[in-house]
Amino acid sequence: MGTLAARATRENGAVKDRANWLVALQFLSIGVLLIVPFTVPGAPLWSGQQSAVLAVLLIMVGIVLAGAGVAALGRDLVPWVAPRPGARLRTTGVYRLTRNPIYVGLLVAAAGWVIWFARIDLIVAWVALVVVLAVKARIEQHRLVDAFGDEYVEYADRTPLMLWARGIR
């Protein structure tokens, strides 16, 4: 983790970061979650009205949470591990609850998707997405310290990285 956290450089004003491969894994995991239920045969592990209601609620909550994070970032939204040059730090609204509302929203919505389809292959893909986003968030926090210094460190001390882990690790 420490080596990836230290590998951001600037070239012609653009950030080149060896940790950006995590973006590909993130989109691959999301793609698997979205495509597999419609292209790969598989039997559900469970079914029922309660699981369907829970799935829909989680999908809705996740979309709202991720959407609020996207809206708060606006033009500063980037998929990379380093913030956009000139971006300002967001610490209010949904960013008051978690430093990564988009990731948390994606995971909550994806959990609803997995519950809806109830397939083991989707559970595995969701776990992979959890790991990728957790690693990406941990690396990103170091890029944010580089960009915002003590302001980000103070924010990190009072706000969880996802739903856990205050401070910089």
What DSSP letter does each residue of 73-127 carry, written as one string?
A: HGGG--SSSSPPTTPPPP-SGGGGT-S-HHHHHHHHHHHHHHHHH--HHHHHHHH
Instruction: Record the tokens describing residue 95, joined without a space.
Output: 């960013």
Confidence of residue 14 (pLDDT cuts 50, 70, 90): very low
Secondary element (H or E) of residue 15? strand 14-17
The answer as to whether 119 is a domain residue is: yes
CATH number at residue 87: 1.20.120.1630
pTM for the model: 0.88
The answer as to whether 40 is a domain residue is: yes
The answer as to whether 85 is a domain residue is: yes
The answer as to whether 38 is a domain residue is: yes
- For 56, the 3-state DSSP assignment is helix
Mean pLDDT for 91-107 is: 97
The yes-or-no verdict on residue 62 having pLDDT over 90 is yes
The answer as to whether 134 is a domain residue is: yes
Q: What is the pLDDT of residues 103-131, one digit of tens each?
A: 999 999 999 999 999 999 999 999 999 99
The yes-or-no verdict on residue 160 having pLDDT over 70 is yes
Assess contact for 15 and 8: CB atoms under 8 A. yes
Assess contact for 9 and 15: CB atoms under 8 A. yes
Q: What is the pLDDT of residue 9?
A: 52
Distance CA 29, CA 101 (A): 18
Quote the percentage of the chain above a pLDDT of 70.
91
Q: What is the pLDDT of residue 86?
A: 94
Task: State the Rg of the chain over Cα.
Answer: 17
The answer as to whether 78 is a domain residue is: yes
Number of domains in the chain: 1
Distance CA 27, CA 72 (A): 21
